[in-house]
């Protein structure tokens, strides 16, 4: 079936659909990962976005339930050069196309993803519509322009859990960690468990009182989708928790922590989406290869350097990648230390969180 991807600036890409039929809206971005498409699809941070994979062949090792990063896929649409017709892997349980049909995801293949990626790099991320129903170009461009986009929109409420739950019970309970679920990836929870923590996941709108009543040793602010400035209730909660409990922020959690500390955020031209971003630890000089997925960034110059230390920077564009409070038990990173791009370059950050909780227990 024919499919069209239309951008708000009037650019049109034609291809063929795979997966579900329909029409989907979102901000179009590109991801430079060569593998890990299943993790991309099920990362709640991609809510509100149509994702283009720069690697040309996607779906060749199929889909399996063990590699899910959340309860379901959250991408609005998926753009690839070619969707593999076979799934060649001993762990594969179904094809990418079948997975899309089951989860009502619209995909498009057979279009020039290289051209789209270069266009996004030149112009920046844009609102877009992906359709198998309406094939009128002018109509689709107008629909893209009329769609809501991401700025000022709270998408966390659409991906967070409905109620508190324990990720996994362990016999020798180590430190108790309350995870504020803004769209948390399962591998963050797995890493905490691997470090001996009892992990309790809580909805993003959980009150400070409820969090403190858990008598947890630390709070983790998770990753998630959209504009951090739109999630004011989490920013307020974070501000009220400061000084009362150790806090570790990841991705959106890092951005909301920056806002709670009095900083500001801004939208990047085309964001950071991929598994090959070099980040430098300013304390050790070590460079880690990291996984990133964010369209907003904390403004380094907006932070009060008297109280806040810059700990990490992105070596591609010199943007802020990590902060630490000089007096309070608080630190955060923009990248995903659980995602194993290096593969273990950034796992030391979970150990830092354990040390912090031990110190302030």
Q: For the packed helices 232-241 and 252-260, what is the interaxial angle rounded to 10 degrees?
A: 70
Residue 289, helix vs strand vs coil: strand
Residues 6+ apart with CB under 8 A from 35: 55, 61, 275
Residue 249, helix vs strand vs coil: strand
Active site residues: 251, 336, 338
Give Cα separations from 233 to 178, 180, 238, 239, 331 (angstroms). Answer: 17, 12, 9, 10, 20
CB 256 within 8 A of CB 234: yes
Q: Are strands 218-221 and 176-181 parallel, antiparallel or unpaired?
A: parallel
Integer Cα distance of 27 and 49 in angstroms? 5
Give Cα separations from 131 to 58, 137, 141, 199 (angstroms). Answer: 20, 10, 11, 40
């Amino acid at each position: 079936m024919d499919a069209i991807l239309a951008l708000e600036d009037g650019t049109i890409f034609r291809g063929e659909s795979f997966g579900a039929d329909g029409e989907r809206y979102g901000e179009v971005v590109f991801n430079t990962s060569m593998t890990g498409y299943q993790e991309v699809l099920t990362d709640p941070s991609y809510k509100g976005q149509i994702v283009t994979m720069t690697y040309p062949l996607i779906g060749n090792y199929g889909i399996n339930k063990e590699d899910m990063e959340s309860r379901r896929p959250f991408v609005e649409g998926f753009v690839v050069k070619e969707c593999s017709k076979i799934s060649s892997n001993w762990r594969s349980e179904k094809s990418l196309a079948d997975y899309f049909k089951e989860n009502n995801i619209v995909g498009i293949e057979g279009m020039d993803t290289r051209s789209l990626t270069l266009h996004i790099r030149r112009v920046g991320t844009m609102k877009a519509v992906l359709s198998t129903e309406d094939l009128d170009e002018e109509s689709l461009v107008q629909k893209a322009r009329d769609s809501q986009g991401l700025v000022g929109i709270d998408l966390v409420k659409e991906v967070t859990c409905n109620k508190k739950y324990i990720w996994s019970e362990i016999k020798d309970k180590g430190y108790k960690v309350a995870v504020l679920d803004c769209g948390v990836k399962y591998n963050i929870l797995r890493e905490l468990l691997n470090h001996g923590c009892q992990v309790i996941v809580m909805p993003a709108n959980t009150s400070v009182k409820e969090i403190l009543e858990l008598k947890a040793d630390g709070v983790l602010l998770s990753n998630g989708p959209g504009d951090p400035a739109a999630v004011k209730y989490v920013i307020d909660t974070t501000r009220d928790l400061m000084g009362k409990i150790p806090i570790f922020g990841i991705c959106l959690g890092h951005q909301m922590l920056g806002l709670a500390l009095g900083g500001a955020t801004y939208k990047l031209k085309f964001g950071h989406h991929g598994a090959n971003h070099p980040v430098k630890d300013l304390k050790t000089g070590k460079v880690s290869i990291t996984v990133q997925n964010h369209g907003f960034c904390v403004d380094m110059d907006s932070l009060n350097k008297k109280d806040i230390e810059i700990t990490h920077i992105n070596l591609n564009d010199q943007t802020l990648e990590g902060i630490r409070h000089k007096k309070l038990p608080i630190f955060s990173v923009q990248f995903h230390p659980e995602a194993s791009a290096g593969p273990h370059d950034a796992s030391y950050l979970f150990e830092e969180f354990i040390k912090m909780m031990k110190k302030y227990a």
